[in-house]
Chains A and B, each alone.
Chain A
Amino acid sequence: MTLTYHLQIVNLLAALLLLISFAMLSQRRIVGLVTLFAWQGAALALSTAIVAWSTDQHHLYYSAAITLVLKVVAMPWYFYRLVRKLDVNRVVEPMINIPTTMLIGIVLVIFAFNLALPISEMSGTVTRSTLGIALACVLLAFLMMITRSKAIPLVIGFLAMENGLFFAATSATYGMPLVVELGVALDVLVGVFVLGIFIFQIRETFDSLDLKHMEKLKER
Chain B
Amino acid sequence: MADEKKFAGYVCSGCGLGERLDAGQLETTATRDGKMQSCKQHEMLCSAEGVQMIKDDIANDGVTHVMIAACSRRAKVEAFNFTDVALTRANLREGVIWVRPDTDENKETTQEMADDYIRMACAELKSMAKPSASGEQSLNKNILVVGGGITGMTAAIEAAAAGYPVHLVEKSGTLGGAVGSYYKVIPTRSPYDAPAENPIPALREAIEADGNITVHLNSTLTKTDGAPGRFSVDIATESGTTETVSIGAIIQASGWKPYDANQLPEFAYGKSQDVVTNHELEALAVAASGGPIKRPSDGKEVKSVCFIQNAGQCSDKDGHLTYFAGVTDLVSIKQAMYFKELNGECDTTILFDNLRTPGAGGEDFYRAGQNAMVTFSKGIASEVVPGDSLTVKFEDKILNEQTEMACDLVVLATGMEPNSGPDPYAQLMVDEAEDEEEKAKAQAILENAPPSILNLQYRQGTDLPHLKNGFTDSHFICFPYETRRTGIYSAGPVRRPMDIQQARDDATGAALKAIQAAENASLGRAAHPRSGDLSFPSFRKEGCTQCKRCTVECPFGAINEDEEGYPMYNESRCRRCGTCMGACPVRVISFENYSVETVNQQIKNVEIPEEWDEKPRILVLACENDAYPALDQAAQAGVEINPWARVIPVRCLGSVSLSWVTDALNNGYDGIVMMGCRRDDDYQCHFVRGSAMAAERMSKVGDTLDTLNLEPERVILHEVAITDVERAPQLINDMAETVEKIGLSPFKF
Instruction: Answer yes or no: do A and B interact.
Output: no
